[in-house]
Amino acid sequence: MNTSNLISNTLEFEGTKIKFTWYPGDDISKYEPFTQIYGVVFDQNGNMLIQRREGCDWCLAGGTVESGETAEETLRRELIEEADVTVKNPILLGGQRVQFPGGHNPNPSKRGDDDFYQLRYYCEVDEVLPQTPDPDHDVINERLFVPQTEINKYLGWGITGQAIFDQAIALFHHLHP
């Protein structure tokens, strides 16, 4: 894997400083182990989907791979569960490596999630469904479509997040000139 042009930054999450490194590319085998899948989702106007539970920060919709699922199956399931949208045209953008201090996730409930990859997919909304409770928390998540220029203002993911969003936005404009 070519590492000469990688973008990394360290952000604090739940009291722990975590290093995030963006690896663009469409070869899923490069990003193992991957444990989480997220969608960079665009509506027909080019606005980008974010969601949050009450009292939580805004984030992309996505989540953990369940046993026997492919990455794309996880993506589709999580987007319905968390944001009540179906999508079309999923395209792998790359993998974000998540590294914890000392190589160990300090959260005991996340054992096995030490250093791992989160896959990021570009996709477009096929259908926006009526909102239903997320089965993981039994609450309806807040869903919002934001302009492309504001995505990282809501998420605050630093330069790695901006690199992911820039790549997805460029792809959207390439597919919709």
Model pLDDT for residues 80-129, shown as the tens digit of each residue? 999 999 999 999 999 999 888 765 555 544 545 568 899 999 999 999 99
Give the per-residue pLDDT at 96. Answer: 93
- Angstrom CA distances, 68 to 37, 73, 101, 117, stand at 14, 10, 30, 18
Give the per-residue pLDDT at 106. Answer: 54
Give the per-residue pLDDT at 116. Answer: 85
With beta carbons less than 8 A apart as the criterion, state whether 65 and 34 touch: yes
Residues of the chain under the 70 pLDDT cut: 1-4, 102-114
CATH number of the domain at 76, please.
Answer: 3.90.79.10
Inside any domain, residue 86:
yes
Q: How far apart are CA 34 and CA 102, in angstroms?
A: 19
**Domain membership of residue 73 as a residue range:** 14-175
Inside any domain, residue 1:
no
Give the per-residue pLDDT at 113. Answer: 55
How many structural domains comprise the chain? 1
Inside any domain, residue 57:
yes
